[in-house]
Amino acid sequence: MSDWRMRPEAHRVVRVLRVVEEAEGVSTLYFSDPLCRKARPGQFVMVWVPGLEEVPMSLSTIGGESSITVKAVGPTSRRLTSLGEGEFMVIRGPFGRGFTLMGEKPFLVAGGTGAAPIKPLVEKMLSQGLRPTLILGARTRNMLLFLNRLRELLGFKLHIATDDGSLGFKGLASKYAERLLNEGEFDAVYACGPERMMAAIYRAAERHGLPIQVSLERYMKCALGLCGSCAIGPYRVCRDGPVFNSEMLREILDEFGHRHLDPSGRSTPLEE
């Protein structure tokens, strides 16, 4: 117990090393933390700025430097995107089960800020000699995250989908994904983005008999597997997830893509 401060569950202060604006209202904050350095793609941290609510965030860079990529939507995320170099935030984690590599020909889909855990997954796959194909989707071209970095990493294996057609395929990333999956060149699927997008891709993967992993997001309190506020079926998103595989998803089909718990624990429809 001597080193409890270095346990992942302990709150730790980290300084922002630099901030990169990825798109309007979306910033990546880089920091250095010995525990996050050893995280797996798909794991998340709880991020807190005193005075505001602590929130879960996927790690968007894993390595010598770590990062989170934040979209300004609520009070905490707005404050985080306005942090400058040298300012601090408080983190605990990394938490949860990350992605597990499967297959030889992986197919990935990232929608909106769902690109955050997908980028380090792509980097890990490449470092293991895999050649992933990725659909990067967003509402419009200037909301596409990590576009240059992913182009550099993936070349022609990077596909773009925008809802408004401003770049690449015009329409939902899930529609484009279904089309590419029909070509039958893949043996494993990964997705992160809006839950209805992930549910559509899950159904397509099941039709093709392909294993899939998706990363889910839920309101969380403890992030320690204790309080149950992030329950989905028999699972805790914070501890059993946030990455769910095909077998787990088959058990939670009445909730996945449809419902979530509000902070009081009442099941309510997902709004996206």
Partner 1 sequence: MMGMAEIRLAIEIAGLKLRNPVMNAAGILGLTADLLKRVYEEGAGAVVTKSIGLKPRMGHPNPTVAIVEGGLINAMGLPNPGVEYFLGELEKLRAGGIPVIASFFGETLDEFVEVASRLSEAGVYALELNCSCPNVEGVGILGSDPGAVKRVTEAVKECVDKPLFVKLSPNVSDVAEIARAAERGGADGLTAVNTLRAMALSIETRRPILSNVTGGLSGPALKPVALRCVWEIYEAVEIPIIGCGGITTWRDAVEYLLAGASALQVGTAIMTQGLKVFREINLGLRHYLEENGFREVSELVGLAHEA
Phi, psi of 119 (to 5 degrees): -60, -50
By CB under 8 A, tell whether 216 contacts partner 1: no
Under the binding rule (CB under 8 A), the answer on residue 264 touching partner 1 is yes
Provide the token pair at 31.
């920091």
CB of 227 to partner 1, least distance (A): 6
**Does residue 13 belong to the site contacting partner 1 (CB under 8 A)?**
yes
Q: Does 92 help bind partner 1 (rule: CB under 8 A)?
A: yes
Cβ contact 114:193 at 8 Å: yes
The DSSP bridge partners found for residue 23 are 26
Tokens 């419009």 locate to 140
When binding is defined by CB under 8 A, the residue of 29, 45, 55, 191 that contacts partner 1 is 55
Helices (H), the chain: 34-37, 75-81, 115-127, 147-154, 173-182, 195-207, 246-251
| Cα–Cα separations (whole angstroms), residue 258 to 8, 189, 253 | 31, 21, 8
250 lies in the site for partner 1, by CB under 8 A = no
Stretch 31-50: interaction string toward partner 1, x if CB under 8 A: ---------------x-x-x
Cα–Cα distance, 120 to 65 (Å, whole number): 12
What does the DSSP 8-state code read for residue 113? G
Q: Which helix (H) or strand (E) segment is 151 a member of?
A: helix 147-154
Is residue 270 a contact residue for partner 1 (CB under 8 A)? no
SS3 176: helix
Q: Is 205 in the site for partner 1 (CB under 8 A)?
A: no
List the one residue out of 192, 153, 147 whose CA is nearest residue 174. 192
Size of the site for partner 1 (CB under 8 A): 37
The reply on whether position 159 binds partner 1 by CB under 8 A is no
Residue selected from 83, 227, 258, 270 as contacting partner 1 according to rule CB under 8 A:
227
Is residue 4 at the binding interface for partner 1, with CB under 8 A as the rule?
yes
Binding of residue 97 to partner 1 (CB under 8 A): no
Is 11 a residue that touches partner 1 (CB under 8 A)?
yes
Does residue 248 bind partner 1 (CB under 8 A)? no
Interface residue list for partner 1 (CB under 8 A): 1, 4, 7, 9-11, 13, 46, 48, 50-51, 53-55, 88, 90, 92, 220-229, 231, 233-234, 236, 261-266
